Amino acid sequence: MSQIPSPVADAWTPAQIQAVIDAHRERPGAMLPTLHAIQDRFGFIPDEAVPMIAETLRHTRAEVHGIISFYHHFRTHPAGRSVIQICRAEACQSVGSRQLEAHAKASLGVDYHQTTPDHEFTLEPVYCLGNCACGPSIRVNDDVYGRMTPEQFDELTDELSATVVEVK
Amino acid sequence: MAITVYVPRDTTALALGADRVATRLQRGARARDVEINIVRNGSRGLFYLEPLIEVDTPDGRVAFGPVTPGDVEALLDAGLLEGRQDHPLALGLTEDIPYLKRQQRLTFSRIGITDPLSLEDYTALRGFEGLKKTLALDSQAVVDEVKTSGLRGRGGAAFPTGIKWQTVHDQAPGQKYVVCNADEGDSGTFADRLVMECDPYMLIEGMTIAGLAVGADQGYIYLRSEYPLAHAILDEAIERAVNAGYLGDNIQGSGRAFHLEVRLGAGAYICGEETSLLESLEGKRGLVRAKPPLPAIEGLFGRPTVVNNVLSLAAVPFIMDQGGQTYADYGLGRSRGTLAIQLAGNVKRGGLVELAFGTSLIELMEGFGGGTLSGRPLKAVQVGGPLGAYLPESQWDNPVDYEGFAAFGGVVGHGGVVMFDDTVDMGDQARFAMEFCSVESCGKCTPCRIGAVRGVEVIDRIRAGESFDKNLALLTDLCDTMVDGSLCAMGGMTPFPVQSVMQHFPDDLTPRQAVTAGGTTC
């Protein structure tokens, strides 16, 4: 499979990362706001950011790595253009989320925590989106979709892929 | 004059196409040369009717729902803007919808009625009245009022809120904090989200009152990252409240200060546990702390801290406005006030039901919920989130209250009710409980960290028919070890759903049921 560079990950420079860290360094409990800010800006937390965060916030590199890896939300590699989260929790299970997740994996050809080779989609599990009366629920980037069926899932992913092509 | 039309903007309404409904309404009205004013209100919590649109009429607001974008043209043709009730989706006056009318909405009295970010709407419906009364009282009187209300923590542990406040109040003056636990991770729950998305000033007011009562000038809302819309709305609401003098250095000219900030979690269920939450707020891994010391004595950054759930804090403005006794007049036994029940999962009429404690589970699931969405027989119901037991039919007549539920091993928790029809494989559910714990355990204590992984393995062996009796005994023993030996409720309660399956649905664990055993990996 050819390695297409991810279009989502904005290029970053050490100076840019340092600027983001510096913007939050004085806040009490600055670590999570800093990590969020880096991921929001660059799409992921580059390995090179770890020593910079450690230095500025006076932690060891091991601690920073430990914090990043503890939280499911943080990623250390670029994601696809769209991050699709499928709710795996009980309320969605009761209305067919197990079938939906099997379908999504087969349809996209990836497992959880993986990105499609064309960098369109990253598939992630999520445990509850708070839409429990109208499941199965999925989240695509910041949008939640309810009562999702396998057919609607395919339509949605087709639409998302098509939009990107048009934009180009 | 422009006609006012309400189209909700909470996550569920949006997930079902509310934005597209609003766009079509605007376009349709323009084509008909009618001037309309679309208000993006919060949801009423009647999710089975979302998107639920309302039109202002001289008689009151009339409702239509559930409205898909494709219904809009036909609705406009049928006289929606004049409030005509000819279309099949017409529901009459919103306030008369039985699902809503039969509720006792004390905390959720404003949701869906107001534009969530409008301070005018909020103050027009008694918003900030509780705060005004608080500013006129000394701090002990505020704590006493909350004690009188009998309010207990709505996050799940049900600890008396007034006593927690008293402990923080009694600590020596100095930096103290109010932390709102908005890490609503339990499947089947969305009441916190509704507060934050549909009535955010109520939470801001409740936290400010808490700060004034205990002597804290800084508050944090620890919000889960799975709620991006709540995040945006809270940030905007805080900014507007600061500008209007309801937050900041000089609240309403009183000379007293309270500052508030939203902090985002990062996808860790365990951070709903209060000590793990505090670690996370401090910028660390969300490892559970041993108690004592209690957070009320040594909490955030080692300082005295009130940690309350969203719903506990959201109940406070009503209590301070109407009096603790008014709140305490609702309820049953030691469970005073109202509970936000959230009907979820395989349910025909899902949504938020706020009622005094004491309604039976079956009345909630049938009377309000209308049974299963699939129309098939109800088989099991999980109350209280992923750590709650699966309840069989024999337990559905029980009234919902803390002590009553505890008596038979049930958990009220945060009030989530997840219904399952008879197609559910309870073996799958037992396995998932252990699997979830293995994914979300903080890893600090062995029974939880290792026990959950071994739990999945043992259940797989049982379902594969491998040394069935021996492995069943092993699972029993493992559950006991986790219950007795875990540091917090995560490991300590994960066995509850598993044990309930072993006790009430043993057939689903037998090998002949195990054809599809295995679930999915994550």
Q: Which two tokens stand for residue B138?
A: 């000394």
CATH code for the domain defined by B333-421: 3.10.20.600
In chain A, residues with a C-beta closer than 8 Å to the C-beta of B284 are 31, 67
**Are A89 and B47 a contacting pair at CB < 8 A?**
no
List, by residue range, all CATH 3.40.30.10 domains of chain A: 82-167
pLDDT means per 10 residues, chain A with 168 residues, are 48 95 98 98 96 97 98 96 97 98 98 96 98 98 97 96 59
Domain ranges of chain B: 3-101, 122-328, 333-421, 426-516
- From B50's Cα to the closest Cα of chain A, the distance in A is 9
Question: What percent of chain B is modeled with pLDDT above 90?
Answer: 96
A window 45-74, beta carbon within 8 A of B: 57, 66-67, 70-74
Domain B122-328 has CATH 3.40.50.11540: yes
Note whether B225 and A73 are within 8 A (CB).
yes
Asked whether the whole model's pTM tops 0.80, one would answer yes
CATH superfamily of A82-167: Glutaredoxin (3.40.30.10)
Dump pLDDT digits (tens) for B353-397. Answer: 999 999 999 999 999 999 999 999 999 999 999 999 999 999 999
**What is residue B210's three-state secondary structure?**
helix
Amino acid (one-letter) located at B405: F
CATH superfamily of B3-101: Glutaredoxin (3.40.30.10)
- List of residues 6+ apart from B151 with CB closer than 8 A: B160, B161, B162, B312, B315, B316, B319, B327, B336, B337
Query: A125 in contact with B at a CB cutoff of 8 Å?
Result: yes
Dump pLDDT digits (tens) for B207-234. Answer: 999 999 999 999 999 999 999 999 999 9
In chain B, residues with a C-beta closer than 8 Å to the C-beta of A66 are 285
In whole angstroms, what is the distance from residue B499 CA to residue B11 CA?
Answer: 34
Give B380-426 as a 3 state SS string.
EEEECCCCCCEECHHHCCCECCHHHHHHCCCCCCCCEEEEEECCCCH
Nearest CA in chain A to B379: A94
pLDDT for position A163: 63
Nearest CA in chain A to B218: A28
Pairing of strands B335-336, A82-87: unpaired
pLDDT for position B521: 41
Helix (H) or strand (E) run with residue A15 in it: helix A14-24
pLDDT at B511 over 90: no
- Please, what is the end-to-end C-alpha distance for chain A in angstroms? 22
Q: Which of A90, A130, A133 sits opposite B350 (nearest CB)?
A: A133
Dump pLDDT digits (tens) for B452-466. Answer: 999 999 999 999 999
Note whether B323 and A109 are within 8 A (CB).
no
pLDDT at B475 over 70: yes
In chain A, residues with a C-beta closer than 8 Å to the C-beta of B350 are 132-134
In whole angstroms, what is the distance from residue B244 CA to residue B225 CA?
Answer: 28
A window 148-167, beta carbon within 8 A of B: none
Q: Which two tokens stand for residue B202?
A: 């109520």
Helix (H) or strand (E) run with residue A102 in it: helix A97-108
Cis peptide before B51 (omega within 30 of 0): yes
In chain B, residues with a C-beta closer than 8 Å to the C-beta of A33 are 263-264
pLDDT for position B512: 57
Q: Which of B342, B374, B436 sits opposite A127 (nearest CB)?
A: B436
- CATH architecture under which domain B426-516 falls: Up-down Bundle (1.20)
Q: What is the average pLDDT value for chain B, to the nearest integer?
A: 96
Give B137-155 as a 3 state SS string.
CCHHHHHHHHHHHCCECCC
Dump pLDDT digits (tens) for B306-319. Answer: 999 999 999 999 99
Nearest CA in chain B to A95: B346
Query: A33 in contact with B at a CB cutoff of 8 Å?
Result: yes
**Are A111 and B188 a contacting pair at CB < 8 A?**
no
**Are A29 and B281 a contacting pair at CB < 8 A?**
yes
**Are B12 and A112 a contacting pair at CB < 8 A?**
no
- List of residues 6+ apart from B216 with CB closer than 8 A: B168, B176, B177, B178, B210, B258, B304, B305, B306
Note whether A150 and A131 are within 8 A (CB).
no
Question: What percent of chain B is modeled with pLDDT above 70?
Answer: 98
Query: A5 in contact with B at a CB cutoff of 8 Å?
Result: no
**What is residue A55's three-state secondary structure?**
helix
In whole angstroms, what is the distance from residue B341 CA to residue B352 CA?
Answer: 6
In whole angstroms, what is the distance from residue B196 CA to residue B204 CA?
Answer: 9
**Are A144 and B267 a contacting pair at CB < 8 A?**
no
pLDDT at B445 over 90: yes
**What is residue A161's three-state secondary structure?**
helix
Query: A29 in contact with B at a CB cutoff of 8 Å?
Result: yes
Dump pLDDT digits (tens) for B6-35. Answer: 999 999 999 999 999 999 999 999 999 999
Query: Would you say A134 is a known binding-site residue?
Result: no
ipTM: 0.95
By CB atoms closer than 10 A (0-12, 13-18, 19+), residue B26 is middle
- Please, what is the end-to-end C-alpha distance for chain B in angstroms? 56
pLDDT for position A101: 98
